[in-house]
Structure 1
């Protein structure tokens, strides 16, 4: 019997791992759930990034300052910081609602979400899977 190959499942079955702190999980879930509403999704992705940096002990100043501090502390690479800044700046567009500011696209929302999701993997999920050190 020839069964067709499954290409994609609707709705998307993506979920945030339970190891991720509740506040971050909530922002990231909202970013995913609102991908069809790109302005909202980008803002939620930026909020999840901000929450991750705060959860890592970087609580002072602006999100810009926290991203820069994360690089100095070795938490993020410069490339990761560049992407985080891009999400931060994209989130400012709908937040400030200026006349000249364009709305975010679905591609913008997907890019922001993909980075926030990858950062969650990097900061929480992968470290939780490390085997315990022999001591």
Structure 2
């Protein structure tokens, strides 16, 4: 039995939200879920204005600009690398497990909270 569908807050930009919702719905296909999770990270960083270069560079730039912490950047790189293994069908890379996919999704959910949901809630609470 798979977990119940999780809703994604409306404060998350549409493209990132769509990728994240699809990742959650794809847990029974972990390789696909991991790729979708990484796509959501990419879409979030682009929404924050980081559009140049590779996802690797955008993650590092996000940390350098203090959009995310160094620890969050390290986790984002783990998600990115997990997706790369699947996108490139690397012979030496094992297929991800459901637990691997769930961990990637949990990071993306945390990133969405940090970058979009919490700032939106603060702005609403402060009447902005």
TM-score, normalising length: structure 1: 0.88
Q: How many residues align?
A: 126
The alpha carbon displacement at 1:107 in A equals: 1.1
1:44 to 36, 59, 62: 36
Equivalences for 1:15-94 in 2 at 5 Å? 15-94=7-86
Aligned to 1:132: 126
SS of the residue corresponding to residue 126 of structure 2 reads coil
The alpha carbon displacement at 1:133 in A equals: 6.7
Question: In the aligned structure 2, how far is the partner of 1:82 from the partner of 1:11?
Answer: 27
Structure 2: gaps (5+ residues): none
Question: In the aligned structure 1, how far is the partner of 2:126 from the partner of 2:95?
Answer: 46
Structure 1: which 4+ aligned runs deviate by more than 4 Å? none
Aligned to 2:112: 120
The alpha carbon displacement at 1:98 in A equals: 2.2
- After superposition, the CA RMSD in angstroms is 1.7
* Structure exhibiting the larger radius of gyration computed from Cα positions: 1
Structure 1: gaps (5+ residues): 1-8
| Cα pair distance change 1:14/1:102, threshold 3 Å | same
Task: Looking at secondary structure, tell me which structure has more helix per residue.
Answer: 2
| Cα pair distance change 1:105/1:77, threshold 3 Å | same
1:96 is aligned to 2:93: no
TM-score, normalising length: structure 2: 0.92
Question: In the aligned structure 1, how far is the partner of 2:127 from the partner of 2:7?
Answer: 29
